[in-house]
Amino acid sequence: MPRGQSAAQPALALQCASRDDWRCARSMHEFSAKDIDGRMVNLDKYRGHVCIVTNVASQ
């Protein structure tokens, strides 16, 4: 996996405006995701911090 990319990027791609926007992303900081309260959060907020991205979706 290239440096600066995470395995979680395809999952986060669902939050992008266009279906293929995630392919151009250079880092997770270009994405937004829902926080635990359901509010959208720009992941750039966490730039410079150690982050663990966890998929908590269940079926």
Q: What is the domain partition of the chain in residue ranges?
A: 1-59
- Give the CA angle between residues 15, 33, 14 to the nearest 5°: 20
> Residue 1: what pLDDT?
47
Which two three-digit tokens encode residue 16? 């992008």
What residues form DSSP beta bridges with 32?
A: 42
Task: Pick the more confident residue, 49 or 21.
Answer: 49
**Under the phi-then-psi rule, with left for phi > 0, alpha for psi from -120 to 50, and beta for the rest, what region is 47?**
beta
At 19-47, the pLDDT tens digits run: 667 778 888 888 888 888 999 999 999 99
Which two three-digit tokens encode residue 9? 């990027």
Q: Is the pTM for the entire model greater than 0.85?
A: no
> Residue 20: what pLDDT?
67
Query: Which of 32, 36, 27, 1 has its CA nearest to residue 16?
Result: 32
